[in-house]
Structure 1
Amino acid sequence: MKYLEKASLSKIFIILFHIVGFVGFSLPHLQDFFISLVPFHLLLMAGILIANQKEYNKNFWLGISFIAVAGYLVEVVGVATGKIFGFYVYGETLGFKLANVPLLIGVNWVILVFAVGAVLKKYFKHMRTLKSAVAAVILVFIDFLIEPVAVKFDYWSWQDSLIPLQNFIGWFFVSFIFMRIYYELEFRKSNPVALTLVISQILFFIGLNLTMV
């Protein structure tokens, strides 16, 4: 019962924070304040997701650590070379940067991989490669929604102000590798708030895209 209560409260928090965030980003006089809260929002969502994991073992923590570090390092290489996602630079919205990449970008990868991974866990049983490919497509779709918002609010910016096709191709292959590793690690992947978090993020970015039309 306590576990269900925690999950229910967590879902309410996720939905409310995304609604409040949408309102804040939509109103010009509140935008600067809400932009300053983006790093805290990412940490909060990651904390809620991890807190609702049904059980913890060394493989779970190994997965969290690997995705966070690898996600950050992929972005470091991507920013430095332009060979993974194209040529882009990070702005100030995501907070403290090391090697020109916000440390929190690794947290963002954890949120996306572990949330989408948990949502798809019961589908395509024993077909981890197919499941990883489907998850990667979903992550590319989420990135497609994020990109215009990210550029407008100084998450990052692209060379010549154009989002290249290479970005989405790179996202697919990086996401596929991360998802494949996620499904290969043996731990219980059930998470009762994962679907709420994924849907909230998708609706949040769809809504912001519509306000920018």
Structure 2
Amino acid sequence: MLSKTTPASYGVPAVIQKYALPLAVAVLVIFHAVGFWGLVFSGNPVYFQQLTPMNLLLTNGLLFAFHRRWNQPFILFAAVVFLAGFLAEAVGVHTGLLFGNYRYGSALGTKVWEVPLLIGLNWLLLVYVTGHLSNFARLPWVAKALLGALLMVLLDFFMEPVAMQYDFWSWHHGHVPFSNYAGWFVLAFLLQLYFQKAAIFKANRLAPYVFLVQLLFFISLYMML
């Protein structure tokens, strides 16, 4: 027999669901706004550089809290994208192939093979959110993959000068080569093709906001250089 309190127990998830998205967006905006202020206006940008890993982990935590159906295809997708991004960066750092001659600074935390572990997570985040955005377009799946890759390159265009300024990574002679954007595009396109064909849940409500907040964050920092 159902108790009289049963309706109330069903109401709690409904309330959480109603306010979860605006709260998550508010947290994203606040943390990125604080990061922007700290890097540009605080007078102690090094301290805020050191908080970058926490910000990235928070963003991923919020994003994937909105993911549904943590099934085997999704776990495989996440592992493949993480490893592909990380290993591509490892090859790039040690050989200069794929992207060009660059090295990582200390701002992104613990490194393996001279590449921060968080870089693999960042590749996963970017492929995931841009894949969601491209799905809003009424295009064939290959064209959606192309759009997703272009969105990733767009973000990287604003990210590169900011990264050099704040010790995320640095380029040989301080110049971002065209090979970086070409390499980013090729790898991003391959991973976007995988996203489009993978049997995973592709209706994460927070994904578009994550991309927008990050894009505005890096554009704002880019304009302050």
Which structure has the higher relative contact order (CA within 8 Å, separation 6+)?
Answer: 1
- Give matches, 1:115-194, under 5 Å: 115-125=129-139, 127-194=140-207
TM-score with structure 2 length normalisation?
0.90
> Are residues 1:40 and 2:54 paired?
yes
TM-score with structure 1 length normalisation?
0.95
Larger radius of gyration: 2
Q: Which amino acid aligns with 2:206?
A: V
Cross-structure match for 2:84: 70
Distance in 1 separating the partners of 2:42 and 2:113: 31
Deviation digits for residues 27-64 of structure 1 (CA, Å, limit 9, x no counterpart): 25231111010011111111111001133221112111
> Are residues 1:87 and 2:86 paired?
no
Comparing 91-100 with 114-123, greater Cα deviation is found at: 114-123
Does the Cα contact within 8 Å between 1:60 and 1:187 map onto a contact in 2? yes
> Are residues 1:4 and 2:15 paired?
no
Does the Cα contact within 8 Å between 1:15 and 1:196 map onto a contact in 2? no
Counterpart secondary structure, 2:20: helix
Distance in 1 separating the partners of 2:168 and 2:151: 21
Does the Cα contact within 8 Å between 2:134 and 2:148 map onto a contact in 1? yes
Distance in 2 separating the partners of 1:69 and 1:201: 22
Cross-structure match for 1:14: 28
Aligned-residue Cα RMSD (Å) equals 1.2
Identity of aligned residues (%): 36
Distance in 2 separating the partners of 1:135 and 1:94: 25
Distance in 2 separating the partners of 1:123 and 1:3: 26
The 1:87/1:58 distance shift into structure 2, 3 A limit, reads same
Deviation digits for residues 61-97 of structure 1 (CA, Å, limit 9, x no counterpart): 2111111111100100111111100010111111111
Where in structure 2 are there 5+ consecutive unaligned residues?
1-13
